[in-house]
């Protein structure tokens, strides 16, 4: 056991979702600066809705319902789909140096982290006598119903992998707040959020609460990640940066609602990691503007930003050739090419 990697374990009391994500970014930035050591953060927040980095609140969330029930909507820094959180859920984030962690597990691609961290949840479920399975790309399911989802983000040398576990969430409230597209469940056999998910507490013979599941998670994280967890607290530097990010970014409505003014023409497709939407405006058959939206997974935002930049003033056919030059994940490249071909064959441009 002496070769286990020391990790700091933090179960903090941040409940406001905006401050919660400000701290997430602070830890990621400071991990890149080699200030923050490998850290496992266990987190719970007040009832709220978190949208993925590339999503639009107006299209993926029932804003009126959230306003009526005082549910905050906040944009995450990582990609993926919108999620509803309440006292019946808990989340974690694992912050680490990418090259060191990848090397210790003989990993070469970030997609390999999904089954690695998923194994922690599979083993946790076994202790509750639940037979769970990995559902590619980033979910864990029981009898095809989702109990867990994950996402991740790269920040230069730093990396964070995050997951959300349903223990006893209010599935009715989840159903009321989220508005996934019809493509979302096209290959899942479900037509709504409530039927797609299930709580761990609904699968156990004895009562199961969040605190119990969190303890099992910590135990199995240590085992699977070759980690030695030591309880710790945030430093003054981490708090100060988080407060700055809260004031300048996450507390401001424009952060969460910034994608609302995306171009109006739209094509969409389902890819393995989620729904991919391409919104665009053409002028003389050249892209005047391009925006990638959806709940797809992408750990490095700079790759998407590069694609959107190179499309400017290109024809859709020229853009197809440019996509192949990018470092975007293979499933995302294929999806974008499909959408660009759809625009080309439209016949109206």
Domains of the chain, CATH where assigned: 5-256 (3.30.930.10), 262-344 (3.30.390.50)
3-state secondary structure at position 321: helix
Query: Element (H or E) spanning 68, and its range?
Result: helix 63-68
3-state secondary structure at position 70: coil
Nearest in space to 150 (alpha carbons), one of 99, 207, 112, 201: 112
Q: Any idea which residue has 């119903």 for tokens?
A: 145
Quick one: tokens of 82? 């919108």
Q: Any idea which residue has 């975007």 for tokens?
A: 328
Query: Element (H or E) spanning 281, and its range?
Result: strand 274-283
Cβ-in-10-Å burial (0-12, 13-18, 19+) of 313 comes to exposed
Q: What angle do CA 87, 88, 94 make, to 5 degrees?
A: 85
Query: Element (H or E) spanning 3, and its range?
Result: none
Contacts of 259 (CB under 8 A, 6+ apart): 54, 55, 56, 57, 291, 293
172-178 own/partner pairs: CB under 8 Å, 24+ apart:
173/47, 173/69, 173/84, 173/86, 174/84, 176/62, 176/65, 177/49, 177/61, 177/62, 177/65, 177/66, 177/71, 177/84, 178/49, 178/60, 178/61, 178/62, 178/82, 178/83, 178/84
Q: Any idea which residue has 């920040």 for tokens?
A: 155
**Distance of alpha carbon 183 from alpha carbon 163, whole angstroms:** 23
Q: What local confidence, expressed as pLDDT, does residue 349 receive?
A: 43
48 with 73: CB under 8 angstroms? yes
Which regions of the chain are under pLDDT 50?
1, 348-349
Could you give the count of Cα atoms lying within 13 Å of 68 in the half-sphere of its Cβ?
A: 7
Output DSSP code: residue 337.
H
Quick one: tokens of 317? 């056919």
Task: Name 283's bridge partners.
Answer: 286
**Distance of alpha carbon 205 from alpha carbon 255, whole angstroms:** 43
Q: What local confidence, expressed as pLDDT, does residue 180 receive?
A: 84
Q: What local confidence, expressed as pLDDT, does residue 15 receive?
A: 96
Q: How many other CB atoms sit within 10 Å of the CB of residue 67? A: 11
């Amino acid at each position: 056991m002496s070769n286990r990697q020391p990790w700091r374990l933090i179960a903090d009391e941040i409940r406001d979702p905006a401050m919660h994500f400000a701290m997430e970014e602070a830890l990621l930035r400071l991990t890149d600066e080699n200030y923050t050591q490998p850290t496992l953060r266990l987190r719970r927040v007040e009832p709220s809705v978190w949208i993925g980095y590339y999503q639009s609140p107006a299209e993926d969330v029932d804003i009126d319902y959230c306003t009526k029930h005082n549910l905050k909507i906040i944009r995450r820094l990582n990609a993926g789909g919108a999620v509803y959180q309440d006292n019946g859920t808990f989340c974690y984030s694992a912050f680490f140096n990418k090259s060191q962690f990848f090397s210790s597990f003989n990993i070469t691609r970030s997609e390999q982290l999904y089954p690695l961290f998923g194994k922690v949840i599979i083993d946790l479920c076994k202790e509750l006598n639940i037979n769970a399975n990995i559902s590619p790309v980033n979910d864990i399911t029981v009898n095809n119903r989702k109990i867990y989802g994950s996402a991740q983000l790269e920040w230069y040398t730093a990396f964070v992998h995050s997951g959300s576990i349903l223990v006893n969430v209010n599935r009715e409230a989840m159903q009321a707040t989220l508005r996934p597209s019809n493509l979302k469940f096209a290959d899942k056999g479900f037509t709504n959020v409530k039927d797609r998910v299930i709580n761990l507490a609904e699968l156990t013979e004895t009562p199961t609460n969040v605190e119990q599941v969190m303890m099992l998670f910590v135990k199995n994280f240590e085992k699977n990640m070759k980690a030695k967890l030591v309880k710790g607290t945030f430093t003054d530097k981490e708090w100060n940066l988080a407060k700055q990010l809260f004031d300048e970014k996450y507390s401001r409505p424009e952060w969460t609602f910034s994608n609302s003014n995306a171009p109006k023409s739209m094509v969409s497709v389902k890819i393995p990691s989620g729904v991919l939407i391409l919104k665009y405006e053409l002028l003389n058959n050249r892209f005047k503007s391009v925006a990638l939206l959806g709940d797809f997974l992408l750990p490095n935002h700079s790759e998407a930003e590069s694609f959107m930049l190179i499309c400017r003033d290109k024809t859709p056919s020229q853009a197809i050739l440019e996509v192949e030059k990018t470092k975007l994940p293979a499933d995302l490249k294929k999806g974008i090419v499909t959408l660009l071909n759809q625009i080309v064959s439209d016949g109206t441009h």
